[in-house]
Structure 1
Amino acid sequence: MSDERPGSRGGGTVFLHASNRSPRRAWGDLLDLPDARVAWMPGYDSELAVRFDQDRWEERLLTACRSGSTVVAHSFGGAVAMRAAVRRPDLVAALVLLEPAAYALARGHEAVEEHIRRVQPVLDRASDRTAEEFAADFAAAMSGDRLTPPLGADGLLAARRQRMLPGPWTLDTPSELDVPTLVVTGGWNDEYEVIAARIRGARHVTLVGHGHRPQDHPEVVDVVTDFLVR
């Protein structure tokens, strides 16, 4: 029997992560959406970090979907979810993209090119750096601050996983989607605002005050539910 509560769809809601947080910490109250399921990507369902493969991530996501699913994806997972939706609109009926790292759509924009200029050299030498060294390099490239305290077990695993990911600007990313799409940004970073503007046909909502994690905003559940009802 399908769930007829407001905001639900016949296939339920599938969450695609992009961080190393536990599901509740990663998604907060959004996990209370009807029939919520978390899709764990290769290397994130164990402590063994594996090299990224876009096809494998998409297949893992689509395996978690049923006909008519809504996919909710954050950051790096956003670009993966976009191509999966183009490949299988029979499974993915709607997308909710939280600050999607669809950088391939925004090449040429000054803020995006500056970000790539800082981060790509770190990724290019990742295999020659220890997990601790990579974590410090990556933090410095992203924010200008180097990590100085020793990393615990969770931090080292996060660094090993991050080291296996390419720059999101290298992903095959469609600019136009055939399913209803909501993009939620935090209004803090020009890169994500221009990316949102480049996703043709998407509804764009800005929820200010929580940086790269608009899913922490107290209004996000209402925004997503309203989008699904519409």
Structure 2
Amino acid sequence: MERAPDLHRLYVHGSGRRGADAWPHVRDSAARFFAFSPDTTIDDQVAALLDDIGGRRSLVFAHSIGAVPAVLAAQHVDLAGLVLIEPALYDIARGDAAIERHIAIVTEARALASSGDLRGFWAILRPLMFGGPFDSARWREESPLAERWATINLPWGHGVRERMLDGTPSLVVTGGWNDEYEAIAQVLADRGATHLVLPGHEHRPHDSGGFVHVVDDFVAALAS
């Protein structure tokens, strides 16, 4: 993916891979790849984005929960555009059945973790986030992952509202595999965002070979 010379491109990862590792198909030595540590707050992430953007004309790419600080930052600067990949903007789709189910399950699991029952937390969260039931034989191997997921930022409760993208050219890309992300994308599309589905890679549709062309078309439209 080549960089248009007049755009400062920033890439904000989700809850998994960080930095450039989260964007293996991007070939842009001038891009800014964020690598937030797990204990970084959403507010800290917003501040880091704003500091990096400065007064530059910027195009921000954000995956999953990375969309939360990206959208919040967009309230303070005039972005050239936003590319949101499976954005975990749960607050804008409250009331949707899939969204409410997800929040309820995670809330129950986190309550167990807060009470000291990490195994109970993982027994609930693992099937939701990774598929497959809790396996006690793998607990020693998976307990560090459970500890991380018990304390990472949740993608709701940060005051994100759908109106926050009004006036910012936005492309939303989903994988067509999860009702939660499709519900969020529909809300954004109803507010004027362009929504495209790239199937075959589930939560990482930006790994699709078609993603580069989708972004190129979006950037071309920004310049027109």
Alpha-carbon deviation of 1:123?
Answer: 2.0
Residue 163 of structure 1: CA displacement? 2.3
Partner of 2:174: 185
Report 1:60-71 matches (<5 A).
60-66=48-54, 67-71=56-60
CA contact (8 A) 2:175 2:197 kept: yes
For residue 190 of structure 1, report the CA deviation from its aligned partner: 1.3
Which residue number corresponds to residue 184 of structure 2? 195
1:112 aligns with 2:99: yes
Cα separation, 2, equivalents of 1:169 and 1:188:
21
Label 1:8 to 1:132 Cα distance change in 2 as closer, same or farther (>3 A): farther
1:61-97 Cα distance to aligned partner (Å, 9 max, x none):
22232411111100011122111111222xx321100
CA deviation vs aligned residue, 1:116-162 (integer Å, no higher than 9, x gap):
22221112333334766644442123355234324659x72x54443
**Cα displacement (A) at 1:22:** 4.5
**TM-score, scaled to structure 1:** 0.81
Other structure's SS at 2:50 match: helix
Structure 1 position 222, deviation (Å): 1.1
CA contact (8 A) 1:111 1:190 kept: yes
Amino acid at match of 1:98: I
Tell me the distance in 1 between the aligned counterparts of 2:2 and 2:114. 47
In 1, are the aligned partners of 2:171 and 2:195 still within 8 Å (CA)? yes
For structure 1, list consecutive stretches of 5 or more residues without a partner in the other structure. Answer: none
Paired position in structure 1 for 2:27: 32
* Inter-CA distance 131–32: structure 2 relative to 1 (3 Å threshold): farther
For residues 7 and 172 of structure 2, the distance between their equivalents in structure 1, rounded to whole angstroms, comes to: 20
Q: Structure 2 residue aligned with 1:80, among 60, 69, 74?
A: 69
CA RMSD between the two structures: 2.6
Give identity over the alignment, percent. Answer: 36
Corresponding residue SS for 2:4: coil
Residue 40 of structure 1 contacts residue 60 of structure 1 at CA under 8 Å; is this kept in 2?
A: no
Whole-angstrom CA distance in 2 between matches of 1:34 and 1:69: 16
